[in-house]
Structure 1
């Protein structure tokens, strides 16, 4: 297209040039492309704008357990009361956007919870081994406020999980963001054979 536009700017663009380009590209017409390039200055195809899944639709998907049709019905009902049905995408468009923007794990998690999501995620994706061959450790901030010496804090849980059996073998709970002491305490509870 750039070369055709150079020829067009000099007034040398002829039908033979357009036919040669059309034959090389395997298309029937090039003149529409030339007209677009003259008007808009664009030499390539327009990239279609993609509509992603906005945060409010993600929340609705979580409420409806991943049911895209129920979310679409809810959006249509709200748009009907507002008198703006043109703002709601079609059901098929919404389904395509959800399939494109949400991973398989996210979609499974909407339908079946955390356990279903983890079957698709990196968690637990190790080759099968025997018990205690490999452990994984993690930290999690618990969304609960507890009173620690007169101050409300959210505790942190540090744990180790046996990869083969998915059993928590060691755990430590701290009122602050975990550091080396929490990791060592959780590891000690996993290794030690005596009571706590």
Structure 2
């Protein structure tokens, strides 16, 4: 991070606070190393926060920091932003851990029966012997490719759970569930085609 002198930083802060988008971007870019550092320090991954989400959250934190910052007599802007970004990161990490627990409990409650339900449903179509074995291999390979959110969604769909309820239980919006469904279809097709070539 290339340092600004105090006068330059104060001017950029003032301009950003009054709604100047270019000044806001300059300020955000100035503190980008701090944003990236906390993303990696907090080990975000999985369902709740990806890198783009963290960037967006950081912009919101910067906006809030600008609103509450009252000048150098109360402290340095960088130190105040650092405290705010760290606190927001801790909040998101707590939410992520709670979501993982809820998703794991939900998945475990349907995990074993999900695969068996699907196999039982397909048996109704007359699948026996080697076809059942192929199906088990297919499902095992597919499961290995799915992310935690995709696994959660896949198992819910097999059990007839609605997109709205999956979004509610998973603590994500319905668009993320729909996108996860689309990724499941793509991965399922990829596994199927690979098995056809064997």
Same fold (TM over 0.5): no
Which one has more relative contact order, counting CA pairs under 8 Å at least 6 apart?
A: 2
Kindly indicate which of the two structures has a greater share of residues assigned to helix.
2
Compute the TM-score of the two structures, normalised by the length of structure 1: 0.25
